[in-house]
């Protein structure tokens, strides 16, 4: 899968690199002294398995990095940048064996990333260590694995350039705008502030998220104060946990801001002109 790049993809990517160097608007470099990172995995000691963090999964989806799971491309790099590595977590039998235990912990078995030592060895000139040690080593590595936003953005750009050449219908035309929005949110978080998105930049919210944003805005305009979660629950006919999770997601993505501990303090940060019509 990794070797799908063609001459056309190379031309597209080189053209993008040339434009990026010449156009300062396409540069999103992070302060060299401090590089925020994204933790990729969390480890469940009871299951001896990893799960991709929500933060990384969300970024992978927005940046077009997700294939059959969000860490396929990382596996290739871990195996000498080779296609073999894309299957490093295709451990269906091991997942099935842990399905019941995972279910009791509220984890879907298909989300489990389980280290199988035999997938992380090379018989051509090795292996040099026993399976138990290989598993211990890779467990330590993945527990501490964190990637910079710059690395994620660069991988997204390379993938998108290849996609444009070989699978144009999946090309992300607004990738640079997404990167800009993500980096702005990171910068705001690091500085402790949450200003609204730049004018003219359409936030990459989903259709459902857009409806919640439109409802909060319309309700606030009509009543002079924002809705409570119970108001959203009645309007969308969903459960209280579903509403609360949506509010947390909108806040995490920088679309709203709240004052913890205070009811009815929600402010939409998306400009009204960028909100969808309320269904």
Tens of pLDDT, residue by residue over 147-170, are 999 999 999 999 999 999 998 888
- Residue 67 and residue 87 in contact, taking contact as beta carbons nearer than 8 Å: no
Alpha carbon distance 59, 181 (integer Å): 11
Residue listed under structure tokens 């459960």? 239
β-pairing verdict for 37-39 and 49-52:
unpaired
What rounded mean pLDDT belongs to the chain? 82
Q: Hey, what domains does the chain have and what are their CATH numbers?
A: 2-168 (no CATH), 207-274 (1.10.10.10)
Please, which residues have CB within 8 angstroms of residue 208's CB and are 6 or more apart in sequence? 246
Q: How confident is the model at residue 204 (pLDDT cuts 50, 70, 90)?
A: low
Q: Are 51 and 113 in contact (CB under 8 A)?
A: yes
State the Cα–Cα distance between residues 57 and 71, nearest whole angstrom: 9
Cβ neighbours of residue 82 closer than 8 Å, sequence gap 6 or more: 2, 76
Across the range 86-106, mean pLDDT stands at 90
Contact predicate 119/130, CB 8 Å: no
pLDDT for residue 19: 54
Contact 96, 109 (CB under 8 A): yes
Q: According to the model, what pLDDT value does residue 132 have? A: 96
In this prediction, residue 194 carries a pLDDT of 46
Q: Mind spelling out the 3-state secondary structure of the chain?
A: CHHHCCHHHHHHHHHHHHHHHHCHHHCCCCCCCCCCEEECEEEECCCCEEEECHHHHHHHHHHCCCCCCCCHHHHHHHCCCCHHHHHCCCCHHHHHHCHHHHHHCCCCHHHEECCCHHHHCCCCCCCCCCHHHHHHHHHHHHHCCEEEHHHHHHHHHHHHHHHHHHCHHHCCCCHHHHHHHHHHHHHHHHHCCCCCCCCCCCCCCCHHHHHHHHHHHHHHHHHCCCCCHHHHHHHHCCCHHHHHHHHHHHHHCCCEEECCCCCCCEEECCCHHHCCCCC
Between 152 and 11, the more confident residue is 152
Q: 185-213 burial by CB neighbour count: b if 16+ within 10 A, else e?
A: bbbbeeeeebebbeeebebbbeeebbbbb
Q: Do residues 54 and 42 touch, judged by C-beta distance below 8 A? A: no
Q: Residue 9 is encoded by which pair of tokens?
A: 């993809």
> Residue 232 contacts by C-beta under 8 Å, 6 or more apart in sequence?
212, 215, 216, 243, 246, 247
Kindly report the pTM of this predicted structure: 0.59
Residue 137 has pLDDT above 50, yes or no: yes
182 vs 137, higher pLDDT: 137
């Amino acid at each position: 899968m990794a070797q799908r790049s063609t001459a056309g993809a190379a031309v597209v990517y080189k053209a993008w690199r040339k434009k990026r160097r010449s156009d300062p608007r396409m540069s999103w470099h992070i302060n060299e002294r401090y590089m925020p990172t994204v933790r990729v995995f969390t480890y469940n000691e009871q299951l001896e398995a990893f799960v991709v963090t929500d933060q990384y999964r969300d970024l992978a989806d927005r940046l077009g990095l997700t294939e059959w799971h969000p860490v396929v491309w990382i596996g290739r790099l871990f195996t000498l940048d080779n296609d073999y590595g894309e299957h490093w977590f295709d451990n269906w039998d091991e997942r099935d064996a842990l399905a019941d235990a995972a279910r009791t912990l509220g984890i879907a078995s298909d989300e489990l990333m389980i280290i199988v030592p035999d997938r992380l060895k090379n018989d051509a000139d090795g292996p040099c260590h026993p399976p138990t040690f290989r598993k211990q080593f890779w467990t330590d590595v993945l527990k501490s694995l964190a990637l910079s936003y710059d690395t994620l953005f660069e991988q997204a750009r390379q993938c998108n350039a290849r996609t444009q050449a070989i699978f144009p219908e999946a090309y992300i035309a607004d990738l640079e705008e997404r990167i800009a929005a993500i980096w702005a949110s990171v910068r705001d978080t690091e500085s402790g502030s949450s200003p609204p998105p730049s004018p003219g930049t359409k936030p990459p919210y989903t259709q459902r998220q857009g409806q919640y944003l439109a409802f909060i805005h319309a309700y606030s305009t009509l009543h002079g104060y924002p809705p409570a979660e119970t108001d959203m629950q009645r309007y969308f006919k969903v459960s209280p946990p579903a509403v609360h999770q949506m509010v947390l997601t909108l806040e995490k993505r920088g679309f709203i801001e709240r004052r913890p501990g205070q009811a009815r303090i929600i402010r939409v940060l998306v400009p009204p002109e960028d909100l969808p019509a309320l269904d």
